Amino acid sequence: MISSDTFQFLLAAKRAEIKVLHQLAANCQLVTFVSELVHQLQRERGMSNVYLASGSELFRAERQAQLVHVTQQEQLLRQALQQHYLHNPEAHNSSRLLSAVSMALLGMDDLAELRQQISQQKISALASTQAFSRLIHAWQTLVSEAADIASDADICRLLVALQHLMQCKELAGQERAWGSIGFAKGSFSVDLIQRLTDLELAQFQAAEQFVSAAPAALAQSWTAQENAQGSQDLAHLRGMLKQFTGHDCTVPAIADIWYQLATDRMDHMQQLQVQLTSLLQQQAQYKLADARQQLDLYKQRVTARQQHNEAQIRSILFDPSMPGLYGDASAIQCRLEQTGYSSLYQLLTDQAAYINRIQAELAEVKAKADEQHLLKRAKIWLMQQQKLTEPAAHKLLQQQAMNQNCTAVDIARQLLQKTRQKAGG
């Protein structure tokens, strides 16, 4: 005789899954707002950069209008944060994500002071760019945290794709900023050209990660845009800048073309981000609706359990497909047959199989994301200890991987393991 508690726990498990999916849907909405706010901050950074470099002559009105757009998006994001994370007693929140939110909001609280310094020309274009970049990085950390705590493989994969796309777009924004600084100075030093070259390489690496994780349609859209005339013109202009090394470059027309081409490319990236965040929310709502539908089905079957012939009901005790005795070969030879098993037991085994499947898929996606985190940590360590740029650290890992006939991930893991051993010993 099967007790009612058995199936009540099954229903409770499905309700718990729905609660997690509900929170995951809230996280997807959060990253949508974050994506838009970052885009507006990047636009403000670019305008502020030109405004400072021109001595308040350029982008005065445009910058003031952009402040309004940033403020509006900030208000929308703060409302969503309060609704989903502060005023929702049933929320299943992550302390890491909420800590990241707190840090990013602290940066937004200090934004007024930065803007005042920009308006009064009391800060350099470089210092302003650095301040905005730190703030943008704080918000991008939220997307990384959301991907880490995602409980669904499909949603996690989309979040990872968004994370790499946002990283690529931010690198493109920094490239635009450094190029504008060079034009403002009227020359491009060897160091500045190297920074621009490093940013170009870093964008390529982030784009590769995005394309590998993104849905096919978005990956194709990215490739098409990178092969479009505007992107080709920007690549040509990159080559021209290298020829300006050590020479004066005071042609306003080229500076305007540089800024516009870089901005157009970033705007296309934003279009991809909008499509990606829309897919995220659609996927989250679909998963949530599907789980609720399964819960209703479970309730119907549990309610009707008395209609089944108890003589046909079996359990894990007599199911040869279930693991048990070590070394038992019968589990391999035998297969579960529908005859003789009640639909309720089948319901339990189906749910268990479903959980195992989504956990396996999620583990596969997160394993790839973990590899990227491992590489990032190793590069940061090399940058700090050996005073390398990120591209140089990445190149060093790849070179060592080739020398040892293994992967860059293997080298990163070995490096971090040795670091921990030295710290502990």
Most confident of 83-97, 205-219, 232-246: 205-219
- For the cut 50, the answer to whether the pLDDT of residue 311 exceeds it is no
| Shared domain check, 159 and 65 | yes
Measured CA to CA, the distance from residue 328 to residue 320 in angstroms comes to: 10
Tell me what pLDDT residue 338 has.
43
Greater confidence, 330 or 103?
103
Judgement on whether residues 237 and 141 belong to the same structural domain of the protein? yes
Distance CA 145, CA 95 (A): 10
Evaluate whether residue 322 is within a structural domain.
Answer: no
Q: How far apart, in whole angstroms, are the C-alpha atoms of residue 262 and residue 230?
A: 9
Residue with the two structure tokens 């990253």: 31
Residue 79 lies in a domain: yes
Residue 395 domain-assigned (yes or no): yes
Same-domain check for residues 275 and 405: no
User: What pLDDT was estimated at residue 62?
Assistant: 92
Lowest mean pLDDT among 88-102, 262-276, 325-339, 356-370: 325-339
Q: In the structure, what pLDDT confidence band is assigned to residue 336 with cuts at 50, 70 and 90? A: very low
Q: Is the per-residue pLDDT at 325 higher than 60?
A: yes
Q: What is the CATH number of the domain that holds 373?
A: 1.10.10.10
Domain count of the fold of the chain: 2
Same domain, 239 and 147: yes
Task: Identify whether residues 263 and 370 lie together within a single domain.
Answer: no
Q: Report how far residue 329's alpha carbon sits from residue 327's, in angstroms, rounded to the nearest whole number.
A: 6
Backbone angles phi, psi at 248, to 5 degrees: -70, 145
| Per-residue pLDDT, 375 | 76
The pLDDT tens digits of the residues spanning 99-127 come to 999 999 999 999 999 999 999 999 998 89
Residue 366 CB neighbours (<10 A)? 18
C-alpha to C-alpha distances, 327 to 321, 330, 332, 356, nearest whole angstrom: 14, 9, 10, 22
Is residue 101 within 8 Å of residue 142, measured between CB atoms?
yes
- Of the pLDDT bands very low, low, confident and very high (cuts 50, 70, 90), residue 247 is low
241 and 377 part of one domain: no
Q: Are 286 and 393 in the same domain?
A: no
Query: Distances in Å between the alpha carbon of 350 and those of 85, 153, 320, 357?
Result: 33, 19, 15, 10
How far apart CA 168 and CA 171 sit, in angstroms, is: 5
Q: What pLDDT is stored for residue 205 in this prediction?
A: 80
Instruction: Select from 290, 325, 353 the last residue of a domain.
Output: 290
Residue 388 has pLDDT above 70, yes or no: yes
Q: 8 in a domain, yes or no?
A: yes
Q: Do 273 and 367 belong together in one domain?
A: no
- 188: which strand partners? 245
Comparing C-alpha atoms, which of 100, 94, 131, 101 is closest to residue 114?
131
Distance CA 147, CA 280 (A): 11
Mean pLDDT for the stretch of residues 297-314: 60
Whether residues 226 and 371 fall in one domain = no
Confidence (pLDDT) at 309:
47
Q: Is residue 349, in this structure, part of any structural domain at all?
A: no
- Give the residue with greater pLDDT, 306 vs 137: 137
Angle made by CA atoms 351, 354, 356, in degrees to the nearest 5: 110
Which H or E run includes 334? Answer: none
**pLDDT on residue 329:** 57
Which of 290, 320, 347 is at the close of a domain?
Answer: 290
Decide: 78 and 41 in contact? Cβ < 8 Å.
no
Residues 273 and 417 placed together within one structural domain of the fold:
no
Classify residue 318: in a domain, yes or no.
no
Give the pLDDT band (50/70/90) at residue 378: confident
pLDDT tens digits, residue range 265-276? Answer: 999 999 999 999
> What integer is the mean pLDDT of 294-307?
71
181 and 269 assigned to the same domain: yes
pLDDT surpassing 80 at residue 396: yes
* pLDDT on residue 327: 62
More confident residue, 185 or 212: 212
Question: Roughly what angle, to the nearest 10 degrees, separates helices 408-424 and 390-404?
Answer: 100
Does residue 356 belong to any structural domain of this protein? no
What's residue 195's pLDDT? 85
Domain final position from 251, 274, 290? 290
Tell me: do 285 and 367 sit in the same domain. Answer: no
**Assigned domain for 220 exists:** yes
Reading the block at residue 153, the tokens are 């493989």
The set of residues, in sequence order, having a beta carbon less than 8 Å from that of 187 and lying 6+ positions away, is 244, 246, 247, 248, 249
Q: Which domain holds residue 184?
A: 4-290
Pick the residue with more confidence: 69 or 250?
69
For residues 283 and 154, the answer to whether their CB atoms sit within 8 Å is yes
- What average pLDDT does range 193-213 have in this prediction? 86
Q: Which has more pLDDT, 242 or 337?
A: 242
